[in-house]
Homo-oligomer: A and B are copies of this chain.
């Protein structure tokens, strides 16, 4: 027996060079319970906010945002027990999955052929919605920070370009208006905005880096490549995806698994979101494209799934989507309103951000657009959301002449602009919808 144990100990010594099991991921404390508590807070907040919004005849999403603002600022009442929700990476990721699923659902409810019908109008709207906010933002930035470089002002202009369509999509979806012509124009223009905003960002940040590092200059080829990747992804995804998805789901049907339709749809959605991210677009653009493609697919009848895909996705998105909106509300720091300098800058930036997109209504031309509400399209394009924040974060990481392109004051002003454009959109949308009916 001793001999065997000795032999084993030799073998042990030989092979013990590396650690053996990797189950240590959790450390010594189970990380799940605090997350459960956070989810309970978020779900309860969303339900309560939705209830309030219903009572006041406002969209549910506004209630979720307002409750989020309340929960995120309880520190004024001396309570900071929810800060782990506000700053925790897990909640940020759950929120990120939420907005992706929302745009996937919106894509499912939209039809590609009808999107193409409004393609020309949406393009004109998108271009106006990029040009006006860009120059207005540049001007405001110059007014508040005349000492800074023109490239920094251009960067601020770029952050005002991209439309974040999540809020508008949610409001129109909640009200059952996702299939009106205005909704299609807004969704189409938002996708194009994302491509244009990306190009402007690439150009401006490319120029800044090349000045700053004195390195390789940004060539026209580089800019063209950015453009090509983004457009290539969108066109490629829509053409190849529409062709491939039926066989993908036919293959899935052969697996004969309970719930496989849901799994395959999520795989499809997440792959396209990830590809969008790879070419530099926002993941939600990929999710929207995925939803558009699956809309046209005839699903073979699958084992255990005789329901429509939308009905299967609904509970999953019901889990994640309110997390996104309550979490977004929680990020608003009310005490920033006490800082007048940031307040003034943020308000002016918000004002031009809103004004700039109202010009979009001018792009609604042609006989195909009779009865389309210009106000509704302009208002629907107002929210900047996470895309503006991502731009601000990229700017905070860039430096010019040894200074950060987006310093703390500018960052705060941009965040305030994102918040204001987000919060005012739902009530204005309701107003525009009611006005349209009259």
**A residues in contact (CB < 8 Å) with B:** 8-9, 11-12, 15-16, 18-28, 30-33, 35-37, 39-40, 43-44, 46-47, 50-51, 54, 60, 86-90, 92-93, 96-97, 100, 252, 255-260, 262-264, 266-267, 270-271, 273-274, 277-278, 283, 312-316, 318-319, 322, 331-333, 335-336, 338-342, 344, 389-390, 393-394, 396-397, 408-409, 411-412, 415-416
Q: Could you tell me the distance between the alpha carbons of A32 and B327 in the complex, rounded to whole angstroms?
A: 15
Q: Could you tell me the distance between the alpha carbons of A315 and B40 in the complex, rounded to whole angstroms?
A: 19
Top 10 A-B residue pairs of the complex, sorted by shortest distance between their CB atoms: A32-B96, A12-B341, A259-B318, A33-B277, A20-B412, A36-B270, A21-B415, A51-B255, A20-B336, A15-B339
Find chain B residues with CB under 8 A from A335 CB.
Answer: 18, 20
Contact of A47 among B264, B270, B342, B394 (CB under 8 A): B264
Q: Could you tell me the distance between the alpha carbons of A415 and B313 in the complex, rounded to whole angstroms?
A: 36
- Residue ID in chain B nearest A19 by CB atoms: B408
CB-CB under 8 A for A283 and B22, given A8-B344, A93-B90, A259-B318: no
B87 x A90 contact (CB < 8 A): no
Closest CB-CB distance, A57 to chain B, in whole Å?
Answer: 12
Copies in the complex: 2
- Residue ID in chain B nearest A411 by CB atoms: B21
CB-CB under 8 A for A20 and B256, given A100-B36, A319-B266: no
A40 x B393 contact (CB < 8 A): no
Find chain B residues with CB under 8 A from A332 CB.
Answer: 21
Task: Name 18 extra pairs, CB < 8 A, besides A47-B263, A263-B318.
Answer: A8-B341, A12-B341, A20-B336, A20-B412, A21-B412, A23-B331, A26-B389, A33-B274, A33-B277, A35-B93, A35-B97, A36-B270, A39-B270, A43-B266, A43-B267, A54-B256, A60-B257, A262-B315
Q: Could you tell me the distance between the alpha carbons of A267 and B43 in the complex, rounded to whole angstroms?
A: 7
CB-CB under 8 A for A397 and B28, given A35-B97, A50-B255: yes
Closest CB-CB distance, A364 to chain B, in whole Å?
Answer: 31
Contact of A255 among B8, B18, B54 (CB under 8 A): B54
B33 x A333 contact (CB < 8 A): no
Q: Could you tell me the distance between the alpha carbons of A408 and B87 in the complex, rounded to whole angstroms?
A: 34
Q: Could you tell me the distance between the alpha carbons of A310 and B39 in the complex, rounded to whole angstroms?
A: 20
B47 x A255 contact (CB < 8 A): yes
Find chain B residues with CB under 8 A from A28 CB.
Answer: 393-394, 396-397
Q: Could you tell me the distance between the alpha carbons of A21 and B408 in the complex, rounded to whole angstroms?
A: 9
Find chain B residues with CB under 8 A from A340 CB.
Answer: 8, 11-12, 15
Closest CB-CB distance, A438 to chain B, in whole Å?
Answer: 27
Q: Could you tell me the distance between the alpha carbons of A338 and B17 in the complex, rounded to whole angstroms?
A: 12
